[in-house]
Amino acid sequence: MTEPAADEQPRRPGPIGGDMAAIVFGLARRARLTSLVKRYDSTLVLAVFAFVNGLIAIGVMSLIALVTGEPFIFPSLGPTAFLLFYTPLLAAACPRNTLGGHAIGAAAGYLALVIFGLTNSPPALATSVTGARVGAAALSLGLTSGLMVLARVPHPPAGATTLIVSLGIFHEPRQLVILMVAVVLLVTQGFVINRLAGIPYPAWSPVPADT
C-alpha cells in the first residue's frame, strides 16, 4: 500500500464508506504515527478507531452523568456520535441540523405529553402502554419528522429523542435542558476531533456539496 503524500488527504469515501478513514489519516499524520498513516484505510484499524472513539464519546457523557447525577446520557446520543465521526460532512451531521433536530424532537415529545396529559405519568417501559401513550408517541414522531423537514434540519437520531420524551423516559423540562446540553457537548467534541484530523467539519451550516 502506497503512503499518501504528507500534504494530501486520502480520497473519500474510505473502504467502508464515510469519512472515517480520512479522520484516522489526519489524526495519525498530526500525531506523526507513520505506521498508522500507512494503514489508515485498513478495515481493522477503522474498526478499532470506531470502538475507541465511541468509547470515549459516550464515556465522557457517562462520566459527566455520574459526577453530576443528571441524565447526560441517553440512547439517541449513540447514532448522533456515529454520524459525527463516520459521515461528518453530511448535512444531517452539521451542528445546525444536530442541535435543531434534537431540539425539535425534545419539544415535540414534551408537547405530546402535555396534549395527552402524561407529564406526570411514569415511563411507559415501567408500566404498560396505554392508548394515550400510543397517541403521544405517534404525534411526537409525526411532529418531529414534519418540523425537521419544514425547518430544513433533518437529523435522523432526533426521531429517537422525541420517543424518549413521549414515552416518559425524560418528562421534565429540566431534563430536556440537560439533554440539549449533552448534545452541545457531543457536537463540540465532534468539531474538535474532525478539525484536528483536517476534516472541514462546519461550525454551523452544512458544508457546500462541492467541498
> pLDDT (tens digit, 9 = 90+) per residue, 59-113?
999 999 999 999 899 999 999 999 999 999 999 999 999 999 999 999 999 999 9
Q: Does the bond joining 13 to the residue before it have cis omega, within 30 degrees of 0? A: yes
Cα dihedral 123/126/128/130 (nearest 10)? 0
Tens of pLDDT along 116-159? 999 999 998 877 889 999 999 999 999 999 999 999 999 999 99
Tens of pLDDT along 174-192? 999 999 999 999 999 999 9
Rounded to whole angstroms, the Cα distance separating 101 from 122 reads 25
* Residue 3 burial (C-beta neighbours within 10 Å; 0-12, 13-18, 19+): exposed
Q: Nearest-5° angle of CA 16, CA 17, CA 22?
A: 95
Give residue 1's pLDDT band: very low, low, confident or very high (50, 70, 90). Answer: very low
Rounded to whole angstroms, the Cα distance separating 92 from 95 reads 9
Q: Are 196 and 30 in contact (CB under 8 A)?
A: yes
Whole-structure pTM value: 0.91
C-alpha distances out from residue 155 to 4, 21, 67, 95, 181, Å: 33, 23, 29, 10, 17
Cell triple for 38: 500507512
Cα dihedral 89/92/94/95 (nearest 10)? -170
Predicted pLDDT of residue 88: 95
Q: Are 83 and 93 in contact (CB under 8 A)?
A: yes
